[in-house]
Amino acid sequence: MSAAPDLVTVLIGSNDIIKRDLRARLPEHFRAMLSALPAGALVATVPRTRGVQAEVNRIVGEAADAGAVVSVPLHFAAGARAPDHFHPDDAGYAAIAADFTAAILARR
């Protein structure tokens, strides 16, 4: 039995950017993941304009331009970090939810 999902959201964290051996393969792996997603999947991009994250954002942008996915640019509030200074805090997660909510509502 095969079922097509009504909604697919993708938010991948930054852990793959920290580890050098994973970082080198991230663009290739991201392209493979995007090609496996159903059309219209919502894929988050993060506000980084350099390095491998900028390349991943560009890859998502190209897929969005081709109509394969919908890019969801995330907007983090300054200081919206958990005590580990890496993950979002409650305000950061609320901002992520608001960005995805806006993208979902724009699909209607």
3-class DSSP state of 49: coil
Which residues fall within 8 angstroms of residue 108, CB to CB, at 6 or more apart? none
pLDDT score recorded for residue 19:
73
pLDDT of 37-55, one tens digit each? 999 999 999 877 788 888 9
β-sheet with 9-10: strand ranges across: 9-10, 41-45, 69-73
Instruction: Report residue 15's pLDDT band, with 50, 70 and 90 as the boundaries.
Output: low
Residue of 92 and 47 predicted with greater confidence: 92
Q: What are phi and psi of 5, to 5 degrees?
A: -70, 150
Query: Cα–Cα distance between 7 and 14 in angstroms, integer?
Result: 23
Q: What are phi and psi of 95, to 5 degrees?
A: -65, -40
**Predicted TM-score (pTM) of this structure:** 0.86
pLDDT score recorded for residue 51:
85
